[in-house]
Amino acid sequence: MAGLEYELADDIAERTAAQVAQGKIVGWMQGRMECGPRASGNRSLLADPRDPQSKARMNEKVKHREAFRPFAPSCLVERASEFFASGYPSAVMLLVFDVLAGKRSVVPAITHVDGTARVQTVSRDDNPLYWDMISHFEKLTGVPMVMNTSFNDNNEPIVCTPEDAVSCFLKTDSDAIALGSFWVDKTPGGAA
């Protein structure tokens, strides 16, 4: 794969969740290309919503854009009402909900300065692999969501092909890429 060392992961959802929980920013390219204005779990850059530095690092080192720009949570639909002031499904990330006051300090990377978040709810029926990955993250952290943004650099289209994904991965400060069942990590020995 483009001269990169890679590993075939037994469970790419579990591997990705574990690495995001350890603070890595992971490019996630799975299945078919998405349709719509947002990345909803097939062409995403993922980070830990609990880490206040996730937002700053993603904006500065990966997306190369202004520091104030917010990021969205991808949250398990069945747990969304525990974090957001609505239990209404929002599969395409177009609705903005208040983050519950008691949860804002738990998920600072996805909480905008006004206490809101543009939420994507993820159901097992709509995207089983993405749902599994978030479920693994929840088992590790107690938080049923990940920080999600489109898999692209600023002013570029969302990655479409594996070649696009590898190119974006190589020119940004993302840590790893989950491309189908393949795992690539920039850290020496980080594939394990």
Separation between Cα atoms, residue 160 and residue 72, nearest integer Å: 21
52 close to 111: Cβ distance less than 8 angstroms: no
CATH architecture assigned to 7-184: Alpha-Beta Complex (3.90)
Residue whose token pair is 């290309």: 33
- Please give the pLDDT value at position 18: 98
DSSP state of 86: -
Structure tokens at 178: 């989950």
- In the chain, the N- to C-terminal Cα span, in Å, equals 17
To which residue do tokens 């062409």 refer?
43
Extents of the domains making up the chain: 7-184
Cα 115 from chain centre: 20
Q: What is the DSSP letter of 143?
A: -
What is the spatial distance between Cα 143 and Cα 21, in angstroms, rounded to a whole number? 10
- Identify the DSSP state of 83: T
Instruction: Look at the pTM and tell me if it is higher than 0.75.
Output: yes
pLDDT tens digits for the chain (192 residues)?
568 899 999 999 999 999 999 999 999 999 998 876 678 899 999 999 999 999 999 999 999 999 888 899 999 999 999 999 987 899 988 899 999 999 999 999 999 999 999 999 999 999 999 999 999 999 999 999 999 999 999 888 999 999 999 999 999 999 999 999 999 999 866 554
**Sole residue written with tokens 């890429």:** 177
Q: What is the pLDDT of residue 191?
A: 53
